[in-house]
Amino acid sequence: MSLKIKNLTVRFGGQTAVDDVSLDVPAGQITGLVGPNGSGKSTVMNAATGVLVPDRGSIHIKDKLLHPGRPGDTARAGLGRTFQIPRLARRLTVFQNLLAGARDQPGEQLFSLFFRPRRVADAERSIEKRAHAILKRIGLAAKLNTLAGELSGGQQKLLTMGMLLMSDCKVLLLDEPAAGVNPALIEEQILLLQSLRDEGRAILLVEHNMGMISRLCDSVCVLDSGIKIAHGDPETVQRDPRVIASYLSMQPEQAPAKSQEAHQ
Ligand SMILES: Nc1ncnc2c1ncn2[C@@H]1O[C@H](COP(=O)(O)OP(=O)(O)OP(=O)(O)O)[C@@H](O)[C@H]1O
Protein backbone atom coordinates (compact mmCIF):
# COMPACT_ATOMS: atom_id res chain seq x y z
CA MET A 1 0.00 0.00 0.00
CA SER A 2 1.62 3.27 -1.09
CA LEU A 3 1.10 6.91 -0.13
CA LYS A 4 1.09 9.63 -2.77
CA ILE A 5 1.16 13.33 -1.99
CA LYS A 6 0.30 15.45 -5.02
CA ASN A 7 1.01 19.17 -5.46
CA LEU A 8 0.58 19.96 -1.77
CA THR A 9 0.43 23.64 -0.81
CA VAL A 10 -0.26 24.81 2.75
CA ARG A 11 -0.38 28.44 3.83
CA PHE A 12 -0.59 29.86 7.32
CA GLY A 13 -1.88 33.39 6.93
CA GLY A 14 0.47 35.07 4.48
CA GLN A 15 3.19 32.45 4.89
CA THR A 16 3.54 29.48 2.53
CA ALA A 17 4.73 26.58 4.72
CA VAL A 18 4.64 23.98 1.91
CA ASP A 19 4.74 24.99 -1.73
CA ASP A 20 3.54 22.56 -4.43
CA VAL A 21 5.26 19.49 -2.98
CA SER A 22 4.66 16.08 -4.55
CA LEU A 23 6.03 12.93 -2.99
CA ASP A 24 5.63 9.19 -3.52
CA VAL A 25 6.07 6.87 -0.57
CA PRO A 26 6.06 3.43 -2.16
CA ALA A 27 5.22 0.16 -0.40
CA GLY A 28 8.29 -1.81 0.68
CA GLN A 29 10.49 1.28 0.81
CA ILE A 30 11.66 3.84 3.35
CA THR A 31 11.41 7.40 2.07
CA GLY A 32 13.27 10.10 3.98
CA LEU A 33 11.89 13.61 4.42
CA VAL A 34 14.59 16.01 5.59
CA GLY A 35 15.26 19.73 5.77
CA PRO A 36 16.19 22.44 8.21
CA ASN A 37 13.87 23.40 11.07
CA GLY A 38 10.78 25.17 9.76
CA SER A 39 11.17 23.76 6.23
CA GLY A 40 7.69 22.20 6.26
CA LYS A 41 8.21 18.52 7.20
CA SER A 42 5.62 18.41 10.00
CA THR A 43 3.16 20.34 7.85
CA VAL A 44 3.47 17.66 5.13
CA MET A 45 2.87 14.99 7.80
CA ASN A 46 -0.15 16.83 9.20
CA ALA A 47 -1.70 17.18 5.75
CA ALA A 48 -1.01 13.51 4.98
CA THR A 49 -2.75 12.35 8.16
CA GLY A 50 -5.75 14.53 7.39
CA VAL A 51 -5.56 16.76 10.48
CA LEU A 52 -4.72 19.76 8.33
CA VAL A 53 -6.70 20.82 5.27
CA PRO A 54 -4.28 21.96 2.55
CA ASP A 55 -4.88 25.00 0.36
CA ARG A 56 -4.11 22.86 -2.66
CA GLY A 57 -3.17 19.30 -3.50
CA SER A 58 -4.34 15.83 -2.63
CA ILE A 59 -3.38 12.76 -0.63
CA HIS A 60 -3.84 9.22 -1.96
CA ILE A 61 -3.41 5.86 -0.32
CA LYS A 62 -3.18 2.96 -2.76
CA ASP A 63 -4.40 5.38 -5.44
CA LYS A 64 -7.55 6.15 -3.45
CA LEU A 65 -8.16 9.87 -2.89
CA LEU A 66 -8.54 10.78 0.80
CA HIS A 67 -10.83 13.57 1.88
CA PRO A 68 -8.83 16.28 3.65
CA GLY A 69 -9.71 17.03 7.25
CA ARG A 70 -10.93 13.52 8.03
CA PRO A 71 -8.14 11.87 10.03
CA GLY A 72 -10.46 9.00 11.01
CA ASP A 73 -10.86 8.02 7.34
CA THR A 74 -7.11 8.27 6.83
CA ALA A 75 -6.44 5.99 9.81
CA ARG A 76 -9.02 3.49 8.55
CA ALA A 77 -7.27 3.53 5.18
CA GLY A 78 -4.17 2.19 6.97
CA LEU A 79 -2.06 5.26 7.71
CA GLY A 80 -0.57 5.91 11.14
CA ARG A 81 2.00 8.33 12.52
CA THR A 82 4.27 8.80 15.48
CA PHE A 83 5.22 12.17 16.97
CA GLN A 84 8.50 13.82 17.97
CA ILE A 85 7.22 13.69 21.55
CA PRO A 86 5.61 10.27 21.99
CA ARG A 87 1.86 10.35 22.63
CA LEU A 88 1.15 7.66 25.18
CA ALA A 89 -1.06 7.05 28.18
CA ARG A 90 1.79 7.53 30.64
CA ARG A 91 -0.10 6.10 33.63
CA LEU A 92 -1.07 2.92 31.82
CA THR A 93 1.32 0.02 31.46
CA VAL A 94 3.21 -0.77 28.28
CA PHE A 95 0.84 -3.70 27.64
CA GLN A 96 -2.29 -1.59 28.23
CA ASN A 97 -1.01 1.04 25.79
CA LEU A 98 -0.51 -1.63 23.17
CA LEU A 99 -4.02 -3.02 23.71
CA ALA A 100 -5.41 0.50 23.25
CA GLY A 101 -3.68 0.62 19.85
CA ALA A 102 -5.83 -2.24 18.47
CA ARG A 103 -8.64 -1.15 16.17
CA ASP A 104 -12.21 -2.38 15.77
CA GLN A 105 -12.38 -4.34 19.01
CA PRO A 106 -15.82 -6.03 19.27
CA GLY A 107 -15.83 -5.33 23.04
CA GLU A 108 -16.19 -1.64 22.20
CA GLN A 109 -19.71 -2.29 20.92
CA LEU A 110 -22.43 -2.69 23.57
CA PHE A 111 -24.38 -5.11 21.37
CA SER A 112 -21.44 -7.49 21.02
CA LEU A 113 -20.54 -7.11 24.68
CA PHE A 114 -23.98 -8.31 25.83
CA PHE A 115 -25.08 -10.64 23.07
CA ARG A 116 -21.82 -12.08 21.72
CA PRO A 117 -19.66 -12.47 24.84
CA ARG A 118 -17.78 -15.47 23.47
CA ARG A 119 -16.86 -13.60 20.30
CA VAL A 120 -15.66 -10.66 22.39
CA ALA A 121 -13.58 -12.97 24.63
CA ASP A 122 -12.03 -14.72 21.60
CA ALA A 123 -11.18 -11.36 20.00
CA GLU A 124 -9.62 -10.12 23.25
CA ARG A 125 -7.48 -13.24 23.51
CA SER A 126 -6.25 -12.81 19.97
CA ILE A 127 -5.50 -9.09 20.54
CA GLU A 128 -3.52 -9.98 23.68
CA LYS A 129 -1.59 -12.63 21.75
CA ARG A 130 -0.74 -10.09 19.10
CA ALA A 131 0.33 -7.57 21.75
CA HIS A 132 2.74 -10.13 23.25
CA ALA A 133 4.24 -10.85 19.82
CA ILE A 134 4.67 -7.11 19.12
CA LEU A 135 6.23 -6.55 22.56
CA LYS A 136 8.88 -9.12 21.67
CA ARG A 137 9.40 -7.53 18.29
CA ILE A 138 9.96 -4.04 19.71
CA GLY A 139 12.24 -5.41 22.44
CA LEU A 140 9.98 -4.46 25.34
CA ALA A 141 8.77 -7.91 26.44
CA ALA A 142 10.42 -7.48 29.86
CA LYS A 143 8.64 -4.15 30.35
CA LEU A 144 5.04 -5.23 29.81
CA ASN A 145 3.90 -4.20 33.30
CA THR A 146 6.00 -1.01 33.46
CA LEU A 147 4.12 2.28 33.31
CA ALA A 148 4.69 3.88 29.92
CA GLY A 149 5.72 7.13 31.64
CA GLU A 150 8.60 5.28 33.33
CA LEU A 151 10.17 4.13 30.05
CA SER A 152 13.16 5.96 28.60
CA GLY A 153 12.46 8.33 25.70
CA GLY A 154 13.76 5.77 23.20
CA GLN A 155 11.64 2.98 24.65
CA GLN A 156 8.58 5.24 24.49
CA LYS A 157 9.26 5.79 20.79
CA LEU A 158 9.51 2.02 20.24
CA LEU A 159 6.21 1.62 22.09
CA THR A 160 4.45 4.15 19.83
CA MET A 161 5.71 2.16 16.82
CA GLY A 162 4.32 -0.96 18.48
CA MET A 163 0.94 0.76 18.81
CA LEU A 164 0.91 1.43 15.06
CA LEU A 165 1.61 -2.27 14.52
CA MET A 166 -1.32 -3.18 16.76
CA SER A 167 -3.61 -1.40 14.32
CA ASP A 168 -1.63 -3.00 11.46
CA CYS A 169 -0.89 0.32 9.72
CA LYS A 170 0.49 -0.27 6.25
CA VAL A 171 1.69 3.31 5.79
CA LEU A 172 3.84 4.64 8.64
CA LEU A 173 4.82 8.28 9.09
CA LEU A 174 7.59 8.52 11.66
CA ASP A 175 8.52 11.91 13.08
CA GLU A 176 12.11 11.98 14.35
CA PRO A 177 12.24 8.51 15.93
CA ALA A 178 15.96 8.91 16.74
CA ALA A 179 15.79 12.34 18.40
CA GLY A 180 17.06 12.12 21.98
CA VAL A 181 17.46 8.33 21.76
CA ASN A 182 20.61 6.52 22.90
CA PRO A 183 22.70 4.80 20.18
CA ALA A 184 21.84 1.24 21.29
CA LEU A 185 18.13 1.92 20.94
CA ILE A 186 18.69 3.66 17.59
CA GLU A 187 20.20 0.36 16.37
CA GLU A 188 17.04 -1.45 17.56
CA GLN A 189 14.90 1.11 15.73
CA ILE A 190 16.92 0.59 12.55
CA LEU A 191 16.44 -3.20 12.69
CA LEU A 192 12.72 -2.75 13.38
CA LEU A 193 12.27 -0.30 10.50
CA GLN A 194 14.15 -2.59 8.10
CA SER A 195 11.87 -5.47 9.04
CA LEU A 196 8.74 -3.31 8.64
CA ARG A 197 9.97 -2.26 5.19
CA ASP A 198 10.68 -5.88 4.26
CA GLU A 199 7.07 -6.73 5.13
CA GLY A 200 5.99 -4.33 2.39
CA ARG A 201 4.95 -1.37 4.51
CA ALA A 202 5.43 2.14 3.14
CA ILE A 203 7.47 4.30 5.54
CA LEU A 204 7.97 8.07 5.51
CA LEU A 205 10.83 8.94 7.85
CA VAL A 206 11.36 12.51 9.06
CA GLU A 207 14.75 12.60 10.73
CA HIS A 208 17.67 14.94 11.40
CA ASN A 209 19.99 11.97 12.03
CA MET A 210 21.70 11.73 8.64
CA GLY A 211 23.46 8.48 9.59
CA MET A 212 20.05 6.87 10.04
CA ILE A 213 18.74 8.43 6.82
CA SER A 214 21.73 7.16 4.79
CA ARG A 215 21.52 3.67 6.20
CA LEU A 216 17.78 3.21 5.88
CA CYS A 217 16.32 5.28 3.09
CA ASP A 218 15.72 4.11 -0.46
CA SER A 219 15.12 7.73 -1.44
CA VAL A 220 15.22 11.10 0.28
CA CYS A 221 13.18 14.24 -0.35
CA VAL A 222 14.72 17.52 0.84
CA LEU A 223 12.60 20.54 1.73
CA ASP A 224 13.84 24.08 2.17
CA SER A 225 11.42 26.87 3.10
CA GLY A 226 8.52 24.66 2.01
CA ILE A 227 10.00 23.93 -1.42
CA LYS A 228 11.19 20.51 -2.56
CA ILE A 229 14.80 21.18 -3.57
CA ALA A 230 15.99 17.61 -4.17
CA HIS A 231 14.79 14.02 -4.32
CA GLY A 232 16.85 10.92 -5.00
CA ASP A 233 18.99 8.27 -3.37
CA PRO A 234 20.69 9.40 -0.13
CA GLU A 235 24.23 9.63 -1.57
CA THR A 236 23.23 11.70 -4.58
CA VAL A 237 21.06 13.99 -2.49
CA GLN A 238 23.83 14.63 0.05
CA ARG A 239 26.14 15.73 -2.80
CA ASP A 240 23.52 18.03 -4.36
CA PRO A 241 24.83 21.62 -4.26
CA ARG A 242 21.38 23.01 -3.37
CA VAL A 243 21.15 20.63 -0.42
CA ILE A 244 24.66 21.51 0.75
CA ALA A 245 23.86 25.22 0.47
CA SER A 246 20.61 24.74 2.39
CA TYR A 247 22.34 22.90 5.24
CA LEU A 248 25.28 25.31 5.29
CA SER A 249 22.83 28.11 5.99
CA MET A 250 21.46 26.26 9.01
CA GLN A 251 22.27 27.04 12.61
CA PRO A 252 25.15 24.78 13.79
CA GLU A 253 22.86 22.94 16.23
CA GLN A 254 20.59 21.82 13.34
CA ALA A 255 23.35 20.69 11.00
CA PRO A 256 23.46 17.03 9.97
CA ALA A 257 27.05 16.57 11.21
CA LYS A 258 25.82 17.00 14.80
CA SER A 259 23.13 14.38 14.32
CA GLN A 260 25.75 12.00 12.98
CA GLU A 261 27.87 12.53 16.07
CA ALA A 262 24.90 11.62 18.24
CA HIS A 263 24.46 8.52 16.16
CA GLN A 264 28.06 7.29 16.60
N1 LIG B 1 -0.09 26.10 12.97
C2 LIG B 1 0.77 26.96 12.42
N3 LIG B 1 0.48 28.26 12.34
C4 LIG B 1 1.32 29.15 11.76
N5 LIG B 1 2.51 28.81 11.22
C6 LIG B 1 2.85 27.50 11.28
C7 LIG B 1 2.01 26.51 11.87
N8 LIG B 1 2.62 25.30 11.76
C9 LIG B 1 3.78 25.53 11.14
N10 LIG B 1 3.93 26.84 10.84
C11 LIG B 1 5.05 27.47 10.13
O12 LIG B 1 5.21 26.75 8.92
C13 LIG B 1 6.59 26.56 8.63
C14 LIG B 1 6.87 25.07 8.52
O15 LIG B 1 6.79 24.50 9.81
P16 LIG B 1 6.95 22.93 10.09
O17 LIG B 1 6.66 22.71 11.54
O18 LIG B 1 6.15 22.17 9.12
O19 LIG B 1 8.51 22.73 9.79
P20 LIG B 1 9.43 21.47 10.17
O21 LIG B 1 10.32 21.25 9.00
O22 LIG B 1 8.60 20.34 10.61
O23 LIG B 1 10.28 22.02 11.38
P24 LIG B 1 10.97 21.20 12.60
O25 LIG B 1 12.13 20.43 12.01
O26 LIG B 1 11.41 22.27 13.52
O27 LIG B 1 9.91 20.29 13.22
C28 LIG B 1 7.37 27.23 9.75
O29 LIG B 1 7.73 28.53 9.34
C30 LIG B 1 6.37 27.30 10.89
O31 LIG B 1 6.62 28.39 11.72
- Model confidence band, residue 261 (pLDDT cutoffs 50, 70, 90): very low
Mutate to test the pocket of ligand 1, among 5, 16, 43 (most ligand atoms within 8 A of CB): 43
* pTM exceeds cut of 0.95: no
- Model confidence band, residue 229 (pLDDT cutoffs 50, 70, 90): very high
Ligand 1 near 36 CB (within 6 A):
no
Q: Answer whether residue 264 shows pLDDT above 70.
A: no
What ipTM was estimated for this complex? 0.97
Q: What is the CA radius of gyration of the chain?
A: 19
What is the reported pLDDT for 180? 83
- Model confidence band, residue 3 (pLDDT cutoffs 50, 70, 90): very high
What is the reported pLDDT for 104? 63
Tell me which CATH code domain 3-88+168-249 carries.
3.40.50.300
What is the reported pLDDT for 253? 47
For residues 230-244, give the mean pLDDT: 90
| Closest Cα to atom 25 of ligand 1 | 37
- Model confidence band, residue 163 (pLDDT cutoffs 50, 70, 90): very high
Q: How close is the Cα of 226 to the center of ligand 1, in Å?
A: 9
Going by C-alpha positions, the residue among 222, 150, 221, 164 that lies closest to residue 193 is: 164
| Closest Cα to atom 5 of ligand 1 | 12
**All structural domains of the chain with their residue ranges:** 3-88+168-249, 89-150
Ligand 1 near 39 CB (within 6 A):
yes
Q: Answer whether residue 95 shows pLDDT above 60.
A: yes
| Closest Cα to atom 24 of ligand 1 | 37
Q: How close is the Cα of 5 to the center of ligand 1, in Å?
A: 18
| Closest Cα to atom 16 of ligand 1 | 40
Q: Answer whether residue 257 shows pLDDT above 50.
A: no
Q: How close is the Cα of 203 to the center of ligand 1, in Å?
A: 21
Q: How close is the Cα of 13 to the center of ligand 1, in Å?
A: 12
